[in-house]
Structure 1
Amino acid sequence: MPQPSLSVSLRTALTALAFVFSAGLAPAADAGPVIDQIRSQGRIVIAHRESSVPFSYVGPDKRPIGYAVDICRRLAAAVQAKLGLPGLQIDFLQVTPANRIDAIETGKAHLECGSTTNNAARREKVAFTIPHFITGARMLVKAGSGLERIDQPEIKRVAVTRNTTPLGAVRRIKAERGLRMEIVETEDHEKAIQMVERGEADAFVMDDVLLYGLASVRPDPAALKVVGRFMTTEPLAIMLPKGDAAFKKIVDDEMRRLIFSREIHGIYQQWFEQAIPPNNVPLNLPISYLLRDFWKFPTDQVP
């Protein structure tokens, strides 16, 4: 005849053993390669840009400033709080469009705070959090040029920053429409806008919000204007390394907190609706309906 007391005791012991075994195998909620590195070094590395106004650029005092930089500072504070660190040093690493993805993929930086588009090709190499801006590529030309469309015969040379999504769009448009224009790839936005100012290029194609920002800090902002229809749709988001779900959760949770608390609205207004360095000129760009709608159900999953 079976002995119930022995059966219950055995079942209890096996259950306890299974719990201990599974707990030993399960990763801690705040553990992962990125988190472990941040915890052991007591620092987080934020990649920034030189001239992606107003998202991420070098200010008059040579320190990184901007909309994305301010968001990243809050993300760093969230990491510090979640990990229970008494302090967390923030180190900045300046990157370009050409090397920004590599900086994240190889672990040189933990966050890239700039104006990078979240798309499928890049998600093969890096992760993204929830977009902080939605824009599209247009053209920057001289104000008196009379240029309005990229397919105008008068456009002979177009400058586009290397390793950006607008570069792929311009190549596609050139091939589809049989345009004869020359595409000049530049290392950064500063070089491209200088080419337009000096007459070395007829247009500079980039995200329109960046074009407005770049024009606002030129010696003569009125000499340039943004024209044309959108050639792309660009959800801009902060990059972070793949392979650390716990780190990404901290970042995503903080982005959602910033959005649902509307704290991000204040950051946005500071950089897009108020006067910004170095010329103390406002961009006067209120939050678009596209971004407002996207933030109703914030997600890192974008088409």
Structure 2
Amino acid sequence: MKVAARHGASIRNAVQDTRQAAARPAARSSNGNMARTARGGLRSAHRALMALATFGAASLACSAHAEELTGTLKKIHDDGAVVLGVREASIPFSYFDGKDTVGYSQTIALQIVDEIKKTLGMPQLKVREVTVTSSNRTPMLLNNQIDLECGSTTHTVERENVAAFSNSFFQYAVRMIVRKNSGITDFPDLAGRAVVTTAGTSDERLLRRLNTDKHLNMRITSARDHAEAFGALKDDRAVAFVMDEPIVYGFKATDPRPDDFVVTGTPLGYEVYACMFRKGDEPLRSLVNGVITRGQISGEAERLYKQWFTQPIPPHGINLNFPLSEQNRALFAHPNDRALD
């Protein structure tokens, strides 16, 4: 409002100067040179008035646009920064490669940031990254510590009670990774044995439900993050690491001895990843879904998939050799935000 008041005062001053300039040639028109000078002053004052009025209108429009913003977009506008929740070791979705956060999901997150910059008219908008885990990502979102999280977060019906989810960008099966010489091929083989998963994940819920329903008496440990869970398997503190199929393929591919491990087991279920943001934020939902949908129907999503799942990726040039599934192909053809559980 202060900006609008200043521009209003400036325009009024310009109007007064124009009137004074208009009066001068009438009073002294007997002198041709003086009349021409006055007319020149009138034209200059008029041009100044029009320029100032245009500038003032633009400023008022900008101010009005800012006042119309709501939710996360308003927060980002007012803060001058967007805060992304990122993962350290969700290969190849969101992970630290030694220099930057990279990955399939991280690329989508940065495409969303570019769209936010355009929408807000803020090309120099700052981007801050905050590392999150499966356990703390939702509390950090609800406490406004992050604005958006596009990592490896499963969209479930239960989670809709506390957060909102974008259109899905990846569909996968829940399976396990074991040592090749373990003799384990399916989940019944885990009866009475030590098994690890990651705390705060939908996989943990599925695994504990299986343990109860099938009376397997597994000794389940919930690790802080994916890397810690895989470490438990490598150190033989667990015989299996149950997690999203692409995640365990990522750990297998990046291990110095990948042939020591195998991904196996009848899927416990199928789930989808999506970006997570605060509930009731329709402007942000529309923006995020627009970016994801355009990528999927244009073919960009399939190109991005091939880059991160079928080609060498940083930092060591490993290849997950994880071809596009028919489920993901169908998802790309028909973008949607449905949970699968």
* Matched residue, 1:69: 106
3-state SS in 2 of match to 1:131:
strand
Does residue 299 in structure 1 map to residue 336 in structure 2?
yes
Q: Which runs of 5+ in 2 are unaligned?
A: 1-64
Match of 1:214 in 2: 251
Question: Would you say the 8 A contact 1:98–1:162 is kept in 2?
Answer: yes
Distance 2:247 2:124 in 1: 34
Distance 2:146 2:280 in 1: 14
Following superposition, the deviation at residue 30 of structure 1 comes to 6.2
Partner residue of 1:11? none
Structure 1 residue 249 and structure 2 residue 286: aligned?
yes
Could you tell me which of 40, 46, 49 is aligned with 2:84?
46
Identify the match of residue 264 of structure 1 among 286, 301, 308: 301
Query: 1:241 and 1:224 mapped to 2: Cα distance?
Result: 39
What are the superposed Cα offsets for residues 145-168 of structure 1, whole Å, 9 maximum, x if unpaired?
111112116661000100111111
Counterpart CA distance in 2 for 1:196 and 1:240 is 33
Asked whether 1:281 is paired with 2:336, we answer: no
Q: Distance in 1 between matches of 2:291 and 2:67?
A: 16
2:98 counterpart SS class: coil
Instruction: Tell me, yes or no, if structure 1 residue 133 matches structure 2 residue 178.
Output: no
How far the C-alpha of 1:292 sits from its partner, in A, is 1.3
Amino acid in structure 1 at the alignment position of 2:126:
Q
| 1:58 equivalent in alignment to 2:121 | no
**In structure 1, the residue corresponding to 2:263 is in which secondary structure?**
strand
* Structure with the higher helix share, 1 or 2: 2
- How far apart, CA to CA, are the structure 2 residues paired with 1:97 and 1:176? 25
Q: Does 1:31 align with 2:44?
A: no
Are the structure 2 counterparts of residues 275 and 153 from structure 1 closer, same or farther at C-alpha, using a change threshold of 3 Å?
closer
**Greater C-alpha Rg:** 2
Task: Give the Cα separation in 2 of the matches to 1:28 and 1:299.
Answer: 30
1 or 2 for the larger relative contact order (CA 8 Å, sep ≥6)? 1
Kept in 2, the 8 Å contact 1:60–1:277? The answer is no
Offset at residue 211 of structure 1 (A): 0.2
Identity %: 31
Q: Secondary structure at the match of 2:130?
A: strand
Q: Which amino acid aligns with 2:95?
A: Y
Paired residue type of 1:237 = A
Structure 1 residue 287, shift from structure 2 partner: 1.6
- For each residue in 1:123-162, what CA deviation from the matched residue of structure 2 results, as whole angstroms up to 9, or x when unmatched? 1111111111101211110111111112116661000100
TM-score (norm 1): 0.87
Unaligned runs of 5+ in 1: 1-26
C-alpha deviations, 1:182-222, integer Å up to 9, x for none?
01111011111111111110100000110001121122111
Task: Give distance in 1, aligned partners of 2:338 and 2:176.
Answer: 28
Distance across 1 between alignment mates of 2:192 and 2:67: 55
Aligned to 2:46: none
Matching of residue 231 in structure 1 with residue 268 in structure 2? yes
CA RMSD, aligned part only?
1.7
Counting matched residue pairs gives: 276
TM-score with structure 2 length normalisation? 0.78
- Is the counterpart of residue 103 in structure 1 residue 148 in structure 2? no
Partner of 2:151: 114
Q: Is the 8 A contact 1:44 1:88 kept in 2?
A: yes
Alpha-carbon distance in structure 2 between the residues aligned to 1:256 and 1:75: 11
TM alignment of 1:160-199, pairs within 5 A = 160-199=197-236
**Structure 1 counterpart of 2:332, which letter?**
W
Q: How far apart are the structure 1 equivalents of 2:143 and 2:129?
A: 16
1:237 is displaced (CA, Å) by 0.7
* Residue pair 2:175, 2:266 contacting (<8 A) in 1 also: yes
